[in-house]
Structure 1
Amino acid sequence: MKYDYTMHRTDAFPDIYGNGECPERILEEISRNRLPHGHVITFANEKGGVGKTTMAFQAGVALASRGLRVLAVDLDARQRSLSRTLEARHATAHCLNAKLPAIRSIRIDNTSTAMLQQEIARLGTEIDVVIIDVAGRDCPQARRAIALADSLVTPISASHYDLDALGHFDPVTHELREPSAFARTVLALRAEQLARGLRQAEWVVARNRVRSVDSAQMERIGAGLLQLSESYNLRIAEGLSERVAYRGLLQFGLTMADIPLIPQLRKHARKGRQEIDRVLATFDLPEPPETATPHRSETAPARRAPVLNRTRDNYVRAVLETLCPTRVEA
């Protein structure tokens, strides 16, 4: 039995800010501004520490590798995790003189909700995919990022609290009692979109950072997710595994898919399908043109200071210590 979205059209957004914030107002405001060009993927969950930024970054790199033009939007003005990761990526490409799939990016610090659409419209005229990384809290910008999404990704890990962030369950019967605050936000916006005859986002909950020791816990979480899937009309996908290399490479702005593109690291590349592809495969993403090539970052401009060989060697060594520490010579 599918969830009745209409019951949330008016009660999901109490007037916290004293400005009449509600789904009707959000959709009306969005309709008055230019819609983003390209497919919008929003990574959102009001619970922190679930890997939203990691997945957003991995998705951006994977899509850019296919030849799609990607714009990454960082809405977390306080943490700036996605922005800092992309800055590290530019630094790595410069230091190692590597041509990596490039991602255009912007960080929106202004609290004006209209700024979100204006900046995306300004930078995204020739963009195929817009990736939005939302801060782990409820705010007007987060609501609009969800409303703008063609695809909504909500990562969770093997935790009762992660499941509780989506729906509240009876501890004895394990039956779904009611949606969480975050789920009510999504359901209310989807209800308003349905009432207006607008396309609803594909909502995917990705089980992220799963370790082998979490298998029993994930079995219990999986039963709850199945109820959410049937009730909220969402999909369940396998996200990223918990691997030290994944986390370690983020400080350099790299993914495992980048390693074969870096001459100094090529011999340490590992074959196999990238895990993020499993999530992206669930979305109706645009196909790159037949003539498209991966958008590589430019090599260092002449105006930038050259990188010393010793500096480059130390940088490579630091990456290798993260990628495969047992192979780094003393």
Structure 2
Amino acid sequence: MTETMPEAMPDKGSAHIVVLGNEKGGSGKTTTAMHLIALLLHEGARVGSMDLDSRQRSLTRYVENRKAWAEANGVNLVMPDHVVIPRSDADTVSEAQAIERAAFESEFNRLAANNDFIVIDCPGADSYLSRLGHANADTLITPMNDSFVDFDLLGRVDPQSWKIKGPSVYSEMVWESRKRRVMRDGGKIDWVVMRNRLSSLAAKNKRRVEGVLEALATRIGFRLAPGVGERVIFREMFPSGLTLLDLRQEGVEAQMSMSHVAARAEVRALLDVLDLPMPAARADKLVAETAPEAQAESASSSEEAADEATGSNAG
């Protein structure tokens, strides 16, 4: 890798930093980031968000679509305090990194002073800005499609024995970020790998991916989390900027299908696994308001799973 690893970092204060990172595009980083942002906002937390991919700007466009839809429909949707950090086109690497670092630190410090959480969406490639994001993580979420193509960025596997041969490029970068974090302030990065676009079928490849992920998790120290299934509804929501957490809000006209209910249960399950440090008052709100709904969604999700097994699922 040609990108250098950042040294000293800005002061994040009491804000908890959640980073969505993976060096492969199409893994569901932006969808996961926006749904996590919406869920935290709906639970009363103050949330800042940073888009470090100024070329694709996927999270930024999601937020812009959300603002435009809310204004056009007269609906007061919860919004993050959002910024996008541009990648510098300076002539030299050192100059470009200095410019990017200054922009990152300025916005990071502002967001940290005013929010409970900062959710950072990293580009699907190795870059200085991506490493800045990773170096500041308290919680690192790495979404991956349930395939060996995505797994290859985490670890190398023997195709005959299916045993782990060693960590791969992205895992090595995370390892370096963790070491520097410990040296800097004694802090830890809680690394969570989530398997997205899971099939409902118990295929042999699915079991093999699960097996090597569990082996690699033990070896290099990450937690496994269930992600979200392959559902059309996630792609359909992007133009409006809506999330599954908005569909019951007054003014949002949407029919809740079984697929919607099951997908929202998956999003809430992710928050449970992440075990983020919700501020006390907001944590009480989360327990009081979501427990009954979570039970209903769990039942609905089980019903949908039965539908999928017979091939009748529309999601």
Where does structure 2 lack aligned partners over 5 or more consecutive residues?
Answer: 89-99, 287-313
- Secondary structure in 1 aligned to 2:49? strand
Cα distance change on mapping 1:291 and 1:171 into 2, 3 Å: closer
Out of 221, 230, 234, which is 1:246 matched to? 234
What is residue 281 of structure 2 aligned with on the other side? 290
Aligned positions, number: 272
Q: How far is 1:214 from its partner? A: 6.8
In structure 2, C-alpha distance between the alignment counterparts of 1:127 and 1:43, rounded to whole Å: 18
Contact 2:52 2:121 in 1 (8 A): yes
Q: Is 1:133 aligned to 2:121, yes or no? A: yes
Q: 2:104 aligned with 1:104, yes or no?
A: no
Map 1:130-279 onto structure 2 (within 5 A): 130-196=118-184, 198-213=186-201, 215-263=203-251, 265=253, 268=256, 271=261, 273-279=264-270
Q: How far apart are the structure 2 equivalents of 1:178 and 1:195?
A: 24
Deviations 1:109-128 (A, max 9, x none): 14312321221112331201
Note closer, same or farther for the CA distance 1:261–1:179 as it changes in structure 2 (3 Å cut).
same
Are residues 108 and 258 of structure 1, via their aligned partners in 2, closer, same or farther at CA, if it must alter by over 3 Å? same
Q: Indicate if the aligned counterparts of 1:169 and 1:177 stay in contact, CA closer than 8 A.
A: yes
Provide runs of 4+ in structure 1 moved above 6 Å: 291-294
Who is 1:40 aligned against?
A: 17
Q: Displacement of 1:264 after TM fit?
A: 5.2
Asked if structure 2 preserves the Cα contact closer than 8 Å seen for 1:67 and 1:288, the reply is no
Match of 2:218, as an amino acid?
E
CA distance in 1, matches of 2:240, 2:185: 44
Identity %: 32
- 1:281 paired residue among 242, 261, 272: 272
Query: What is the rounded CA distance, in whole Å, between the counterparts of 1:264 and 1:131 in structure 2?
Result: 25
Give the drift of 1:179: 1.0
The residue that corresponds to 1:121 in the other structure is 109
With structure 1 as the length reference, what TM-score do the two structures score?
Answer: 0.76
What is the letter of the counterpart of residue 273 of structure 2?
Answer: T
Q: Answer whether contact 2:66 2:241 (CA < 8 A) is retained.
A: yes
- Residue type of the partner of 1:41? V
> Whole-Å Cα distance in 2 between the matches of residues 131 and 150 of structure 1?
10
Unmatched 5+ residue regions in structure 1? 1-13, 295-325
Conservation of the 8 A alpha-carbon contact between 2:43 and 2:282 = no
Secondary structure of residue in 2 paired with 1:124: helix
2:78 & 2:116 partners in 1: Cα distance?
14
Contact 1:47–1:137 (CA under 8 A) maintained in structure 2? yes
Contact 2:21–2:142 under 8 Å retained in 1:
yes
Task: Give the superposition deviation at 1:184.
Answer: 0.4
Which shifted more, 138-147 or 273-282? 273-282
Determine the C-alpha separation between the residues in 2 that align with 1:194 and 1:282: 23
Larger Cα Rg: Structure 1 or Structure 2?
1
Question: Where do residues 300-319 of structure 1 align in structure 2 (5 Å cutoff)?
Answer: none
Say which structure is richer in helix: 2
CA shift at 1:146, angstroms? 0.7
Deviations 1:7-43 (A, max 9, x none): xxxxxxx6x36xxx34xxx23x21xx33354110000
Per-residue CA deviation, residues 135-194 of structure 1 (Å, 9 max, x unaligned), is 001111111111100000000112111111100111111111121111100012212333
For the 8 Å contact 1:205–1:234, the answer to whether it is kept is: yes
Partner of 2:46: 69
Q: Secondary structure at the match of 1:42?
A: strand
Q: Which has the higher contact order (CA 8 A, sep 6+)?
A: 1
Distance verdict in 2 for CA 1:117–1:237, change over 3 Å: same
Q: Distance in 1 between matches of 2:281 and 2:233?
A: 33
Q: Which residue of 2 aligns with 1:94?
A: 71
Partner of 1:41: helix, strand, or coil? strand
TM-score normalised by structure 2 residue count:
0.80
The CA distance in 1 between the partners of 2:124 and 2:179, in whole Å, is 23
- CA-based RMSD of the aligned residues comes to 2.3
